[in-house]
Amino acid sequence: MTPPIPVTGLTRAELTDLVTGWGEKPFRARQLWSWLHVKLARDWAAMSDLARPFRARLMASCAPLRPAIRAHQVSADGTEKWLLGLADGQVIETVYIPEDARGTLCVSSQAGCSLNCPFCHTGRQGFARNLTSAEIVEQVLLARGELLLRARRVTNVVLMGMGEPLYNYDAVARAVHILMDDAGLAIGSRKITLSTAGVVPRLDAVGRELGVNLAISLHAAREEVRNRLVPLNRKYGLGDLRAALLNYPLKSGRRVTWEYVLLDGVNDRLDDARAFGAYLQGIPSKINLIPFNPWPGTAFRPSSPEVILRFQEALHRQGFVTVIRDSRGADIAAACGQLKGQLPGARPRSAGAEAPASGDSTP
């Protein structure tokens, strides 16, 4: 038996090949594409203008069009989180962050994460597997469809949920092309941001092949601190990362976003801010300071609001656009670094998985 076709993860050209390969006319592919990516159909029965035999063939050969919604939570601040069950039982999370003029969807690229950054809750659960392009696209289709019913919009997409998108480049790239397709969801390249801990050999492709906004999770501009906070730094160090960004094919008028989570006593001194500013010299940059979002069992603590403001001030003085990201959805564990693929109220999988790594962060 051939495996079910993950039809939502096909580009328009691939979908056309599939459909015409079945002997259907190309306009059938256009109809199907529009059902999937414009009308946001969740099942085959809705596709009323497709001929019955064609629909029957789709139903028999294709995978379901949506993951299962295992839980949906809404935060006091309007942030929403879906816990989604995939066909093989893995669970991932997708977060919607409404703002005045826009709505941002934070999507996952992997089930779990292999990077093991000690301050991030997702990393504590380990890595399960890469998501397929269909599983990435379906997070957007699902959220758009659900939110549309309540007249809420998804204008922006950030690849900032669970996982390291550049360790799943092929599926992420295909998904991004599908999201950007003018005849589909039509989310423009400047409305999509890919966040990476710094997989240096892949950065150039993000600029050249995808052209979306790039965010780098720096968190420290000093080698020994970054080695600890972002273990990937032992593979791709600060020097390599900076060289790649100096050569990065940035579109005109755009900047690289730098993410920096402020951890009390770890990376929040004025010295750290100076090292950070010096590190960015020559790279068109904007800075997102992220107040640390604590999670059960972490030994890290957030920097105080005064320290955060002082850190921001120091970067302003060095000439950098620096914003403090407001933490959204913390009451439903939907904030940065809190995603863990768990049902509300569920207990941690094992006590061991909650312990900070190697005593580094023990107070």
Query: Which sequence positions are flagged as catalytic?
Result: 93, 336
- If one asks whether residue 290 binds ligand SAH (CB under 6 A), the answer comes out as yes
Is 160 a residue that touches ligand SAH (CB under 6 A)?
A: yes
Does residue number 119 form part of the binding site for ligand SAH (CB under 6 A)? yes
Nearest to 83, CA basis, from 7, 142, 34 = 142
> Min. distance of Cβ 232 from ligand SAH in angstroms?
8
Burial class (CB in 10 A: 0-12, 13-18, 19+), 177: middle
Please write down the HEC assignment for all residues of the chain.
CCCCECHHHCCHHHHHHHHHHCCCCHHHHHHHHHHHHCCCCCCHHHCCCCCHHHHHHHHHHECCCCCEEEEEEECCCCCEEEEEECCCCCEEEEEEEECCCCEEEECCCEEECCCCCCCCHHHHCCEEEECCHHHHHHHHHHHHHHHHCCCCCCCEEEECCCCCHHHCHHHHHHHHHHHHCCCCCCCCHHHEEEEECCCHHHHHHHHHHHCCEEEEECCCCCHHHHHHHCHHHHCCCHHHHHHHHHCCCCCCCCCEEEEEEEECCCCCCHHHHHHHHHHHCCCCEEEEEEECCCCCCCCCCECCHHHHHHHHHHHHHCCCEEEECCCCCHHHCCCCCCCCCCCCCCCCCCHHHHCCHHHCCCC
Half-sphere exposure of residue 360: CA atoms within 13 angstroms, side-chain side: 19
How many positions of this chain bind ligand SAH (CB under 6 A)? 17
Give the shortest CB-362-to-ligand SAH separation in angstroms: 17
Per CB under 6 A, the list member of 292, 303, 311, 334 interacting with ligand SAH is 292
Q: Which of 93, 259, 268, 272 binds ligand SAH (CB under 6 A)?
A: 259
State which of residues 31, 75, 195, 213 lies at the interface with ligand SAH (CB under 6 A).
195
Residue 171 makes contact with ligand SAH by CB under 6 A: no
Contact between 261 and ligand SAH per CB under 6 A: yes
Q: Which residue, 80 or 93, is less far from ligand SAH as judged by CB?
A: 93
To ligand SAH, the closest distance from the beta carbon of 153 in angstroms equals 22
Nearer to ligand SAH, 91 or 115 (CB): 115
Binding segment for ligand SAH among 3-11, 113-121, 135-143, 309-317 (CB under 6 A)? 113-121
139, 168, 217, 342: which one binds ligand SAH (CB under 6 A): 217
For ligand SAH, which is the closer residue by CB, 195 or 361? 195
Q: Which of 193, 336, 342, 361 binds ligand SAH (CB under 6 A)?
A: 336
Q: Judged by CB under 6 A, which stretch of 68-76, 79-87, 174-182, 190-198 contacts ligand SAH?
A: 190-198
For position 293 contacting ligand SAH by CB under 6 A, the verdict is: yes
Q: With contacts defined by CB under 6 A, name the span among 42-50, 171-179, 192-200, 267-275 that binds ligand SAH.
A: 192-200
Q: Could you say whether residue 40 binds ligand SAH (CB under 6 A)?
A: no
Q: How far is the CB of 231 from ligand SAH (least distance, A)?
A: 11
Contact between 197 and ligand SAH per CB under 6 A: yes
For ligand SAH, the closer CB: 115 or 173: 115
Indicate the residue among 36 and 143 with the shorter CB distance to ligand SAH. Answer: 143
Exposed/middle/buried for residue 178 (C-beta within 10 Å: 0-12, 13-18, 19+): buried
Vertex 132 angle, CA 94 and 6, to 5°:
110
Interface residues with ligand SAH (CB under 6 A) are: 115, 117, 119-120, 160, 164, 195-197, 217, 259, 261, 290, 292-293, 336-337
